[in-house]
A = this chain, B = another copy of it.
C-alpha cells in the first residue's frame, strides 16, 4: 500500500472527505465507475460535459488517492479500463446517497436529468 500520509490539519472529517472527492467532476466520475468497469472512451461518452483534459486529470488524481485503478492492455489500439478499488468501493454509500438525493430534488424542483448515453453509435434502441 502506498502510504499517502496527509500532513494537513482538517477541522472536521467532512473537510477531509471533500479534499479527496471535492471539485466538480471527481464524484461524478466515481458515480459512473460504481456501476462497473469502464473504458476511458465509455466514461467520456457517459460524461459528455467534461473535457478530456479534466477527465484525465481527475482519473489520475483518483488513482493517486487510491480510489480507482487503471488497467491498460498495453496493446494497440490502446484499451484502458478504470474501476473502483476496494477503498473506492467504500465510497458507494456516499455515491448512492448523492444520487438518491439528486433524484428526489429533481422531482421537487422540476430539474431535468438526461438519461445516460451509454454507447457511441446506435446503442439508443
A10 to chain B: closest residue by CB: B113
CB atoms of B49 and A17 under 8 A apart: no
CB atoms of B90 and A16 under 8 A apart: no
Query: Within the oligomer, what is the number of copies of this chain?
Result: 2
Stretch at the interface among A36-44, A51-59, A76-84, A101-109: A101-109
A109 to chain B: closest residue by CB: B6
For residue A60, CB closer than 8 A to chain B, the reply is no
CB atoms of A97 and B93 under 8 A apart: yes
Q: How far is the CB of A104 from chain B (nearest CB, A)?
A: 7
Ordered by A's residue number, 22 sampled pairs between the chains whose C-beta atoms are within 8 Å are A7-B111, A9-B113, A11-B46, A11-B48, A11-B117, A12-B102, A12-B114, A12-B116, A13-B98, A13-B99, A13-B103, A14-B28, A15-B113, A16-B102, A16-B105, A16-B106, A16-B111, A17-B102, A17-B105, A18-B28, A20-B105, A93-B101
